[in-house]
Amino acid sequence: MSLLAAAGVALLEGLGAAAAGVWMVAQIIADRPVGLAIALSTAGFVLVAGALLVALSVGLFRQRRWSRGPAVFVQLLMLPIGYQLVEAPTTPIGYAMLLLALVGLVCLLLPSSTAVFRTENEQRDQRTF
C-alpha cells in the first residue's frame, strides 16, 4: 500500500512538472522573452523531468527494482527546491512540493515498501537471523 502511495506521489509530481512545462512554453510563445534559448531549455528540462517522474511512478506501480533508487533521489531533491519556493509569490507551490516530497520519501522508505524490492535470497537470509 505504501509503495502504491509513493507511485501516486511521483505521478502527481510528474503531472505537475509537465503542466508547469506546458505553461512555460505558452508563456514563451506569448511573451517572446529576450533570453529565448534559456527559456526554451528551462521549459524543455521541466517537461523531461515530468516525463521521467511519470516513468518512475509506472516503475513503482509495477514494483520494478530500478525505480526505487531514482525515486528516493528525486524526493530528496524536491525538499530543497520546495523550501526555496516557500517564499512569495510561490508559497502554495513550495508547500505542496515539500508535502509531496516528504510523503513520497516516507512511503518509499517504509519497511513494507522496501520488502517488495528484496530478492528471495535476501528475504531468506533475513529470516535466518
pTM (global) more than 0.85: yes
121 pLDDT above the threshold of 80: no
26 pLDDT above the threshold of 90: yes
In order of 30, 44, 64, the CA distances from 35 in angstroms are: 14, 14, 40
- Band (129; pLDDT cuts 50, 70, 90): low
Average pLDDT, stretch 84-93? 93
Predicted pLDDT at 32: 87
Q: What is the pLDDT of residues 89-120, one digit of tens each?
A: 999 999 999 999 999 999 999 999 999 988 75
Predicted pLDDT at 117: 87
Residue found by looking up cell 531533491 in the block: 77
What residue segments make up the domains of the chain, in order of their start? 2-128
Q: What is the pLDDT of residues 32-64, one digit of tens each?
A: 899 999 999 999 999 999 999 999 999 999 999
Long-range CB pairs of 67-75 (<8 Å, 24+ gap) are 68/108, 68/113, 68/114, 68/117, 71/6, 71/10, 71/104, 71/108, 72/105, 72/108, 72/109, 74/10, 74/13, 75/9, 75/101, 75/102, 75/104, 75/105, 75/108
